[in-house]
Amino acid sequence: MTKLMTLDVLSSIKGAKSSDAVDELFKVIKNAHFDKNEKVFSKSTIINAVLLENLRDDEIIQSSQTEKELIKKNFPNEKNGFLVVSKVIDN
Amino acid sequence: MSSEIIRIHNKLKSKEISCTEFVKGKLKELEESTSNSANFLLTESALKRAQAVDEKIANGAEIGLLEGIPFGIKDVFLLQGEFASAASDFLKSYISPYTATAIQKLIDAGAIPIVKENCDSFGHGSSSENTVFGPVKNALNEKLVAGGSSGGSAVNVAKGYTLFSVGGDTGGSIRQPAGYNKVYGMKPTYGRISRYGLMAYASSTDCVGPISNSVEDISTLLNVMSGKDYHDQTSLVSSPISENIFKRKNEAPKYKIGYYKNFLDSEAIDPKIKADFLKLIDQLKLNNIEVIELDFYDSGILVSTYYTIAMAETASNLARLDGTNYGNRLTAESLKESYSLTRSENFTDETKRRIIGGNQVLSQGHSEEIYLKARAIREKIEQSFIDEFQEVDIIISPVSPTPPPKIGDNLNDPLAMYLSDAYTVGFSLGGLPTLSAPFGTETGIQITAEKMGEEKILEFVIYLRDEIYG
């Protein structure tokens, strides 16, 4: 079953609507002549990404004490020494 | 202009000036400035670092080239314990938990960060008007925009408030403001400088780079900031720029130069910019340099491809900003309402336009005909660059099709703003190194080489500076 999501839900922005300026840009891409079957690149041309075989393993790195304190300091709300999460659980 | 860094280094070494007084002077200039180029002054930490440099000199110790040199940081980089607002209401009170790799390398070399610089919010803009700190004013004419998104950084260098600044360039955000304010700005090869600690806009084209008043300083700064970084897996190993390029007989006249004819045939180009650029082409030919015309993609395709990809990536990157773990939080009846209210109230209109556009192209039904098609076109563009650099060593172009607009003129015309990036976005999609130099046309000349071709670019710009415009 397909569930359609509107732009405001997808973006979590109230009243989100597409803009004419941005639609103009997308129209250019839609109308561009492009042969989908044309093979255009090899592995050697992609360098703005990491190839899977070059990815390092995930590692856990402990943050410094200063970093941990600053992360807590940035938390939006604090009450009686606890960080206050928004109404996550009841949803 | 030769190296400002060396000039101040020599003055510090010979005790002609004290580091503390020098840094104090720069902080005062920033404080009194009406350019809107500074978001946060780093007074306390800067003076502490400056005092340490003075003590070292007083004790007769040697100082490194960058020790005591004050610099600016675009306000999208993290510097531990200091604000990192991205020029947004969302992160206006956010304090950096750690320091970006490129900034840390400069600090390790002794340079002193003195200011977090104004810019377009999250890098979303080409004029530095999309900021909650007020529009940045051009260094040469306060009625004009500074360019963007690293507008505050370019203005601070042009005004002499900082000896250099560190900007971020996704589609032209270092090169265009550098051009608008007549300073040098370099976007290195994608991956040459780590992105760790730079707030992500479009991760596949985001680059860190220096803005300064001299080619010599660009070279020094590139060498300090470059290198493979554990924290950024897309970062690359690179060879340092050789100092010999400033000493040896210049190789530049042997280079074969290309330029895109269709950039000049565009109806959008300002006649004076076009005439000045063609004058440069003629001058190069007169100097027996081989110059050839190249065909390239239409500017409309370049801009549309870039913005489609950049919007899709920024929609994903900024999804984390919902007020849960950091940033300003607004509460509502339900969790989803809280997210929605927080994001609606804290993002600027331009940032919302890009997030919405990104979600539009990533959504079912649109991804195939827009986003995936744009990615395929990008791959073709990358391949074109590879082919073209088999034929030429350097590609030159104007930095922008038009001069800087007046503040406010493009705010209600986002399409005009997007199109002003026509000459810079293509090279970003290709991940190529490219530098804007402050001569040739009203907004400068853009010099591009193949990946990791920074040394060639700098050699050629020295030639232009000394032999053509000297």
Of A13, A70, A77, the CB nearest to B344: A13
B13 is catalytic: no
Q: Token pair 């530095």 is at which residue?
A: B128
In the residue annotation, B149 being an active-site residue is answered as yes
What's the pTM?
0.96
Confidence of residue A47 (pLDDT cuts 50, 70, 90): low
Q: Which of B300, B311, B344 sits opposite A14 (nearest CB)?
A: B344
Is B88 tagged catalytic? Answer: no
Annotated catalytic residue within B3, B37, B85, B149: B149
Alpha helices (H) along B147-232: 151-159, 175-180, 215-225
Do residues B5 and B220 touch, judged by C-beta distance below 8 A? Answer: yes
Model pLDDT, residue A4:
74
B327 CA: distance to closest CA in chain A (Å): 6
Nearest-Cα residue of chain A relative to residue B416? A21
pLDDT for residue A39 is more than 60: no
Q: Does B340 lie at the interface with A, CB-CB under 8 angstroms?
A: yes
Residues of A in contact with B373 (CB under 8 A): 29-30, 32, 34
**Chain A closest CA to B370's CA: distance in Å?**
6
pLDDT of residue A3: 65
- ipTM of the complex model: 0.92
The answer, yes or no, to whether residue A1 has pLDDT greater than 80, is no
Q: Which of 158-197 (B) contact A at CB < 8 A?
A: 190-191
Tell me the backbone φ, ψ of residue A2, rounded to 5 degrees. Answer: -90, 125
Which residues on chain B are in Cβ contact (under 8 Å) with A2?
364
Q: Is the Cβ pair B373, A30 closer than 8 Å?
A: yes
CB B37 within 8 A of CB B27: no
Domains of chain B, start order = 4-246 (3.90.1300.10)
Note if the bond before B149 is cis, omega within 30 degrees: yes
Which conformational region is residue A82 in: left (phi greater than 0), alpha (psi within -120 to 50 degrees), or beta? Answer: beta
Q: How many CA atoms lie within 13 A of B264 on its CB side?
A: 20
CB atoms A47 and B363 under 8 Å: no
Q: Could you give the CA distance from residue B163 to residue B68 in angstroms, rounded to a whole number?
A: 11
Determine the Cα–Cα distance for residues B204 and B378; give it in Å rounded to an integer: 11
List B residues 19-58 in contact with A (Cβ-Cβ < 8 A). none
- Residues B358, B370: contact at Cβ < 8 Å? no
- Residue in B40, B159, B122 with CA at minimum distance from that of residue B319: B122
Please list, in sequence order, all residues whose beta carbon lies within 8 angstroms of the beta carbon of residue B305, skipping any fewer than 6 positions away.
A29, B374, B377, B378, B381, B425, B429
Q: How far is A58 from chain B (nearest CA, A)?
A: 11
Q: Which of A25, A71, A73 sits opposite B307 (nearest CB)?
A: A25
Token pair, residue B34, equals: 């009406």
pLDDT digits (tens, 9 = 90+) for A9-36: 999 999 999 999 999 999 999 999 876 6
Instruction: Write the single-letter amino acid at B382.
Output: E
pLDDT given at position A54: 82
Cα–Cα dist B82/B71, whole Å:
15
Which residue ranges of chain B lie beneath pLDDT 70? 1, 249
| CA–CA gap between residue B71 and residue B466 (Å, rounded) | 27
